[in-house]
Amino acid sequence: ELQLVESGGGPVQPGGPLRLSCAASGLTFTTSWMNWVRQAPGKGLEWVASISPDGTDVAYVDSVRGRFTISRDNADNSLFLQMGSLRADDTAVYYCMRDRGYWTFDSWGQGTPVTVSS
Amino acid sequence: QSALSQPASVSGSPGQSVTVSCTGLSSDFGDNNYVSWYQQHPGKAPKLIIYHVNNRPSGISNRFSGSKSGNTASLTISGLQAEDEADYYCSSYEANRMFGGGTKLTVL
């Protein structure tokens, strides 16, 4: 099983940047599609971004495309989400997860909260 | 707005069975069986409880079962226990990377 631990969340002003990290331990990180999903306060789950095992294939939800960048470092078993031009509606708990295939997320981190506010 | 529709809430008494539905277009499910269900307790991360329509990961109680018919997938929880009170989300490989809106299960 893949263990995932997110970090980097916190308060940030509108328009500012923030970089989230997800440290993975386990044997399957380097061969797994990885994802970020977020959950706004009191709301449901929203997929944010995906990245292929080798990092060459990425995808984003429309609302963050051009502002967020997903990346990974397989040598360090780490996943990242570089967030820019942050808006109030980006306020959420951000989770990193592993896709075991066919949109099935079997490993989740504990989440890191991001609050965008002036 | 989720492509997959779930009831906002369901409830049941201890020992009873409840079913949570997840409805979409036929294209949201396709002809495959790649439907998953997640359980989320307050303040906790979601946890996979059903995958590929009706498979349980190791450690998940056999009180949880899934099914699919046409454009509706269902999660059934039998022998309700207080610990089952949580939010439940569905997802489908064909549904454009969207989750269902979530269903709050209350154990009366």
Residue B1 has pLDDT above 70, yes or no: no
Model pLDDT for residues A12-65, shown as the tens digit of each residue: 999 999 999 999 998 789 999 999 999 999 999 999 999 999 999 999 999 999
Model pLDDT for residues B2-61, shown as the tens digit of each residue: 589 999 999 999 999 999 999 998 788 878 889 999 999 999 999 999 999 999 999 999
Cα A87 to chain centroid distance, Å, stands at: 16
CB contact under 8 A, B99 and A44: yes
pLDDT band of residue A70 (cuts 50, 70, 90) is very high
CB contact under 8 A, A109 and B45: yes
Among B46, B51, B100, beta carbon nearest to A104: B51
**pLDDT on residue B9:** 97
Q: CA A110 to CA B16: how far, in whole Å?
A: 31
Cβ pairs bridging A and B (under 8 Å): 53
